[in-house]
Structure 1
Amino acid sequence: MSHLTDTKSWQALAKHRDNIKHMRELFAEDNQRFEKMSVKGCGLLLDYSKNRLDETALSNLFQLANETKLTEKIQAMFAGNAINTTENRAVLHTALRASSDTEVIVNGQNVMPEIQQTLKKMEQFVNDVHNGTWVGYTGKTITDIVSIGIGGSFLGPKIVSQALRPYWTGHINCHFVANVDGTSIVEKLKPLDPETTLFVMSSKSFSTQETLTNTLSARNWLLKSGADKAAVAKHFVAITSNVAKATEFGIEEKNTFPMWNWVGGRYSLWSAIGLPIVLLTGFETFKTLLNGAAEMDEHFATQPLEQNMPVLMGLISLWYSNFYGSESQVILTYDHYLRGLPAYIQQLDMESNGKSVDLAGNSLDYNTGPVIWGGEGTNGQHAYHQLIHQGTALIPADFIFPLTSHNPLGNHHIQLASNCFGQTQALMQGRTFEEAKAELSNSNLSEEQKNIIAKHKVMPGNRPSNTILMDKLTPKTLGALIALYEHRTFVQGAVWDINSFDQWGVELGKVLGVDVLNRLGSDKSCSELDSSSNSLINLFKKGSL
């Protein structure tokens, strides 16, 4: 038994789990349940009343947080301590959105002046592109940006840019490339004009295989259009810590933006990695996004556990993972602009908490890192909601909904709201056999047929969900929403005693991929690996089955 599972609170939670009543009963017994189990802050409202929770379960969850020193771990992160223990690094994405007068010390140095300097550089660069000071090699203004990255340096800017579509300035269009599949970049470049296209390359090392390959292809595309090598400096900028490689590529040093090792890729959109967001929406919109996240940081750092939204969401998710055997969680966004958010949270959570050893390297005897998936409402209601309602797996759900639409059109938004709230209600209360049979009372079915069909129409209910509301999807509420999920992920990792800020599981595939790449480029038949890998490599070389 591990230290965590041996704690008094863990044992109490395991014992109490089967004592919790069906949510139907919990709501029937307490008409103030919503008021007691909802929290407002940072422009958001979290309704967590539709969960398998009572006062005893919540009390024990908070006690678990205390026994695992959650508050102290939160303080250590904000203080710049090296909480990424396997890489001996601080974890300071929060510093990227902190106010300029804040002091954040890393290795004896205040990092805030460099952060502020980078923000000013981003602002100036974007202003130059927008007002036509920065032009292509033929003197034409820039009309299109191609953002090249992978992982967080691709997904963060893409999803946020998509979510902030109503705030685009109209100065420019942006296209995102990550996949090393040549089709991806070829299709992106087809409609573009090399004379008016600017590439933003994001790679800390300037050697990430997929990103470098796509960037080299982009440079070749520019040069084949008639540009000379000197033109590269007019059409490429880089976010990297390897300035030497960037300048060797043809990018001027003044057109490189820094990356810091105390910011992980999946937490980096707040840095210069967010340059595509700024190019699309303008610097003031980006600052408002940062301010929304900073408000959530303040909330997370100062609010008591019982009123702390990231803490509540993290503990509730842990409750289902560890005490109900739930292996996945679904994110359901009832706003078209947020359609990409589930994929963003998927990377954030699964890359952070997909771990099997604790900080001391001991194997875990409890679950971590649920599978995160989802999509936009109402599409999912005609697809995978069936599994959530009547499947054998328990799948907690987060519903996200803005009270006001950017595009009020007829009855669309009220229908969207009715679907969102109706789904959470149906998941909670379900439908009993008696209710299902009563619905068939006026049918022409026989009694036997009614009994059979009623059984198929039964929905057990007691399926948990959170609902997150905002007045409207704005840069500020979006910043707060993303920061909420960042900190929720941290809470789980802190209680599980794992490192949420490394990703060694990503590395082995990269290493072996390089070896396979070398073998694919060799003229010799591959025979040194396992029979499957040998055969696949040789079939690729052959080019046919």
Structure 2
Amino acid sequence: MSNLTSLPSWQALTEHADEIKQSHMKAMFESDPARAQRYGISAAGLRLDYSKNRLNDATLSLFEQLAEECQLEQQRQAMFDGVAVNHTEQRAVLHTALRSHDTSPLLVDGEDVRAEITSTLDKMAAFVASVHQGEWRGYTDQPFTDVVSIGIGGSFLGPKIMAEALKPYWRKGLNCHYVANVDGTAISEKLKKLNPETTLFVMSSKSFTTQETLTNTLTARDWFMANGGPEEAIGQHFVAVTSNVPAAIQFGIDADNIFPMWDWVGGRYSMWSAIGLPIALQIGFEQFRHLLDGAEAMDTHFRTAPVTQNMPVMMAMMAVWYTNFFDSGSHVVLTYDHYLRGLPAYIQQLDMESNGKGVNNHNQAVDYHTGPVIWGGEGTNGQHAYHQLIHQGSGVIPADFILPLNSHNPLGRHHAMLAANCFGQTQALMAGKTLEEAHQELLDKGVDPQAADALAPHKVMPGNKPSNTLLMDKLTPATLGALVALYEHRTFVQGVIWQINSFDQWGVELGKVLGNSVLDDLESATPRLNQDASTVELIKIFRKGEI
């Protein structure tokens, strides 16, 4: 038995889960008319309705006990204080400092990082202004019309999805494009549409050696020069976000246009840093500042609210509840806003790269599940596809429904219909449809009684399927910032409960190392072919170039 599963609260939750499994949420609502009012939290411009979950006051009390026994408060404070909570890499975790207005000293390795954060934000603001005002131009003295952001992982996904979500705030005359995949088709299709005279490239790589990012950047440079761009103008058209300043300068990037990255910010938490430069270029630095402010508002809530009134903590506790006590292997994120269609992929990386771990902080293999599969998509499209599995599948799949109350594009009945679908889905998941209801429904439609007997079981939906509903007045930079910070803190709390390090990603590294070895064999005139038999055979087929 592990440290976690031997905790009194864990043992009590195990017994309590057996009781809750005998109850139906529909009955809970019938016996408690005020349930929706009591099981809701408002913070940082967001409203969470978690009343459609398989829990009661006793569950919340045990959540509080579990948080205390796992020292959540102490772990949270340690993260905000700059303690090296990423213990396998001996690094602080300070993405929260990037959006904080606090000016008190915050020391990392004896140095106050506040000043560097402020200077970087000032540098970003000045650069964005120079591009938007036409002061920073291309080599033919034309203003930039396009920005190509080249990165991978969090350096790509964060800027891309956040800029996509904030399309109503885009500045006219400047379009951002995003490249991550090392597949040559990805960057080729982007470059076909661009003019080298008016294109600015932002390369994001902490080491300036990340294989995919460096390869795409070299390809971009070759394209730039092959289409008339002089080598001496590379500094005008390429900027970098990196900690390897010498490599960037050697590449040809002007030292004044190199923005820092820090070890105390992980890639999937980095959009608040200079990694967010493409976002700022797309929406303007003032709106980027609002994005930071929204995240800071959620940080403040997370630091100060008690467990059962703390939005990230409650969402994390419910995720643990279903993962470990209901054997739920996945969690679905459903965005009822077209601009937020990319958010599930962002949360997927955030959660799964953070908590996909099998060894705890005591260097022991865990004997419980961590890191469920995160997936999802855009409503109402999913209702005609995978919602079927959520409604009638045999497992429990907790769902987050996300909806702005007001649309950026009000058009007839569209938004009311969208909201009706969102709320109707949560209601259907909770209440379901009994065999008797399905049978009577068929009879009311004139179906023969014998046929109704045969068909009714297939139309039964058991209900009792848990969901959260997250609302905001409108999707703005501030509410988006709060939403992303909410999921960041949710991820952190899950890691604290599961007693794992949410801030390393050693599983990502192995594939990179082996991939480099395979690449040598794919390109070498004298390949070693010392891999396993399957990989060797695949290499031989690839080198042959045909099946």
Which residue matches 1:10? 10
Q: Secondary structure at the match of 2:443?
A: coil
Query: Deviation at 1:101?
Result: 2.1
Alpha carbons of 1:190 and 1:350: their partners in 2 closer, same or farther (altered >3 Å)?
same
Separation in structure 1 between the aligned mates of residue 265 and residue 354 of structure 2, nearest angstrom: 13
Which residue matches 2:343? 341
User: CA contact under 8 A between 1:327 and 1:395: conserved in structure 2?
Assistant: yes
Separation in structure 2 between the aligned mates of residue 525 and residue 349 of structure 1, nearest angstrom: 38
Correspondences of 1:171-190 after superposition (within 5 Å): 171-190=173-192
Correspondences of 1:22-37 after superposition (within 5 Å): 22-37=24-39
Query: Deviation at 1:531?
Result: 1.3
Which residue matches 2:230? 228
Q: Secondary structure at the match of 1:441?
A: helix
Q: Secondary structure at the match of 1:222?
A: helix
Q: Could you list the per-position Cα deviations for residues 85-116 of structure 1 after superposition, in whole angstroms to 9, with x for gaps in the alignment?
A: 00000000000000052432212221111000
Separation in structure 2 between the aligned mates of residue 54 and residue 443 of structure 1, nearest angstrom: 38
Q: Secondary structure at the match of 1:273?
A: helix
Which residue matches 2:122? 120
Q: Could you list the per-position Cα deviations for residues 142-177 of structure 1 after superposition, in whole angstroms to 9, with x for gaps in the alignment?
A: 000000000000000001000110001113100000
User: CA contact under 8 A between 1:171 and 1:280: conserved in structure 2?
Assistant: no
Aligned-residue RMSD, C-alpha: 0.8
1:173 aligned partner, one-letter code: N
Query: Deviation at 1:306?
Result: 1.3
2:411 aligned partner, one-letter code: L
Separation in structure 1 between the aligned mates of residue 3 and residue 133 of structure 2, nearest angstrom: 59
1:54 to 53, 56, 62: 56
Which residue matches 2:493? 491
Deviates most, 101-110 or 226-235: 101-110
User: CA contact under 8 A between 2:155 and 2:270: conserved in structure 1?
Assistant: yes
Which residue matches 1:410? 412
User: CA contact under 8 A between 1:39 and 1:47: conserved in structure 2?
Assistant: yes
Query: Deviation at 1:57?
Result: 1.3
Q: Secondary structure at the match of 1:495?
A: helix
Query: Deviation at 1:451?
Result: 1.2
Q: Secondary structure at the match of 2:462?
A: coil
Which residue matches 2:242? 240
Separation in structure 2 between the aligned mates of residue 63 and residue 254 of structure 1, nearest angstrom: 52
Separation in structure 2 between the aligned mates of residue 102 and residue 26 of structure 1, nearest angstrom: 48
Separation in structure 2 between the aligned mates of residue 233 and residue 451 of structure 1, nearest angstrom: 75
2:149 to 147, 154, 165: 147
Separation in structure 2 between the aligned mates of residue 149 and residue 298 of structure 1, nearest angstrom: 30
User: CA contact under 8 A between 2:287 and 2:477: conserved in structure 1?
Assistant: yes
Query: Deviation at 1:41?
Result: 0.9
Separation in structure 1 between the aligned mates of residue 105 and residue 486 of structure 2, nearest angstrom: 23
Separation in structure 2 between the aligned mates of residue 439 and residue 7 of structure 1, nearest angstrom: 48
Separation in structure 2 between the aligned mates of residue 93 and residue 419 of structure 1, nearest angstrom: 36
Separation in structure 1 between the aligned mates of residue 415 and residue 445 of structure 2, nearest angstrom: 34
Which residue matches 1:206? 208
Query: Deviation at 1:447?
Result: 2.2
Q: Could you list the per-position Cα deviations for residues 24-59 of structure 1 after superposition, in whole angstroms to 9, with x for gaps in the alignment?
A: 110000000011100011000000000000111111
Which residue matches 2:472? 470
Separation in structure 2 between the aligned mates of residue 134 and residue 216 of structure 1, nearest angstrom: 22
Deviates most, 454-463 or 165-174: 165-174
Correspondences of 1:123-142 after superposition (within 5 Å): 123-142=125-144
Which residue matches 1:446? 448
* Structure 1: 5+ residue stretches without partners: none
- Correspondence 1:306 to 2:308: yes
- Correspondence 1:365 to 2:370: no
User: CA contact under 8 A between 1:100 and 1:116: conserved in structure 2?
Assistant: no
Separation in structure 2 between the aligned mates of residue 275 and residue 207 of structure 1, nearest angstrom: 20
Which residue matches 2:97? 95
Q: Could you list the per-position Cα deviations for residues 375-427 of structure 1 after superposition, in whole angstroms to 9, with x for gaps in the alignment?
A: 01000000000000001121000000000000000000000000000000000
- Correspondence 1:419 to 2:421: yes
Aligned residues between the structures: 545
Which residue matches 2:539? 537
Which residue matches 1:521? 523
2:355 to 347, 353, 356: 353
Query: Deviation at 1:448?
Result: 2.3
Separation in structure 1 between the aligned mates of residue 527 and residue 484 of structure 2, nearest angstrom: 49
Which residue matches 2:70? 68
User: CA contact under 8 A between 1:403 and 1:469: conserved in structure 2?
Assistant: yes
Query: Could you state the TM-score of these two structures normalised by the residue count of structure 1?
Result: 0.99
